[in-house]
Amino acid sequence: MLNIYKAKPKASLLGKTITFSIDSNDYEVHGISQHEKKIVFVSAALPGERVQAKVTEDKAAFIKASTVKVLQASPLRITPPCEYARACGGCQLQHLGVTSQRELKQQGIDKLICHQTGLTVLPWQPMLIADDSGYRRRARISIWYDKKQRQFSVGFRQHADKHIVAVNHCMVLSPKLAPVFNVLNAVLPQLQDPMAVTHAEVLQAGDTAYVILRHIKPISAHDQTLFVDAWPEAVWLGEAEPGKFCYWHNTVTPQYQLSEQALTLQFSPNDFIQVNAVLNQQMVSQALSWLDVNSNDVILDLYAGIGNFTLALAQRAKTVRALEGVAEMVQQLETNAKVNGLSNVEAYQADLHLAWPKTSWNKPDYNKVLLDPARAGAAGAIEQIVRLKPAQILYVSCNAATFARDAKMLLQNGYTLAKVCGVDMFTHTSHLELMALFSRS
């Protein structure tokens, strides 16, 4: 009988605490190290540091770990300004000053894009920035009822963990939304069924606060009144099923303004809007400037949502055709165009990742294209955009990795990267958005 030798698989490092020396950082400002010929990504670790970190993933090609103790600190490391920072999963970079956060995020993204595209120098423009506190106009708040302790936890989930960090304030949440924690902590224990509410979402629309309570059991009129009376200035809604809302008192449609363009955009509570109103305005204004929009332009706006960029483009362009995958948002975009008196907007529903149909909007008469896809990027759409051969393409990205992939495709099809800038939409997090202008060679 032939015996074939098989090497024993190496024991997993999962859960073990190991000391790592950090050499550099990636585009999400994770520290990078090496261990047994594997690359290691260590959260909350900075270049030049030695840390003890607990292994959270052990894969064939890489390891992920989370810092538990800093043995040798970087000069860049600071004491987090928020008391919950070490436990709360919302802000990953509070161990860095704001300027250092922005520098390391951009440096990491620069390396990523250059590596993926083969470019050696990127045409960086000044980063779009705003206040580093009180900037979030939307947040999801976790609610958990412990049946044994008969206590509620109201707050945010720990990093890479289902457990909830109970908080009574959040430094990045808009001051208009700040009362929500005290109100929830006061009212939830009074409910007839304490397990009925599973989470809350707060959003600020103009000067109005909205609170949407997701509930898995009916909320009685008595319990609804408890919430409304505790914070009557807010608009309260129940959400028994995803996307199905019931206003508990005032039926006020959410809306926000783009003040520089004198535009008002209405939206449903489950529609996507940018969480940072100040930076959203800067992005819209910069898009108009970079594309140099004029009355001769025929513009294609992809992943258009409720018309955040569309309406501003339409104020200056000849025609804007806007494509969006969600039917309800297409309808909202059409409504917003009418409310703002814009008759040169055409809105269509389309799955942009599939083969584009032969239809009125799919024709090569566009000289400019703007796209603002979700984190998955524009795979499938990019190939079809280049067939239209627009002179300029403005790409707004919320994921540097998928942007790098799509940018490579544009460069391979005769476009040059003319401008790129970071947008620090979520200060204190590892997230950096991008705006990039491509011109046809």
Backbone angles phi, psi at 159, to 5 degrees: -60, 125
How far apart (Å, rounded) are the C-alpha atoms in residues 211 and 252? 12
What residues have CB less than 8 Å from 373, skipping those under 6 apart?
302, 303, 352, 381, 397, 402
Where are the alpha helices (H) located in 350-416, listed in sequence order? 381-388, 400-412
Q: How far is CA 250 from the centre of its chain?
A: 29
- Helix axis angle, 400-412 relative to 381-388, nearest 10°? 40
Read off the amino acid at residue 381: A
- The token pair at 78 is 């600071």
The burial class, CB within 10 Å (0-12 / 13-18 / 19+), for 66 is buried
How far apart (Å, rounded) are the C-alpha atoms in residues 429 and 142? 19
Transcribe 36-80 into DSSP letters: TTEEEEEET--TT-EEEEEEEEE-SSEEEEEEEEEEE--TTB---
Per-residue CA distances from 120 to 123, 194, 403 (Å): 10, 58, 17
Catalytic residue among 88, 91, 170, 398: 398
DSSP single-letter state for residue 176? G
Is 88 marked active-site? no
Q: Could you list the active site residues? A: 398
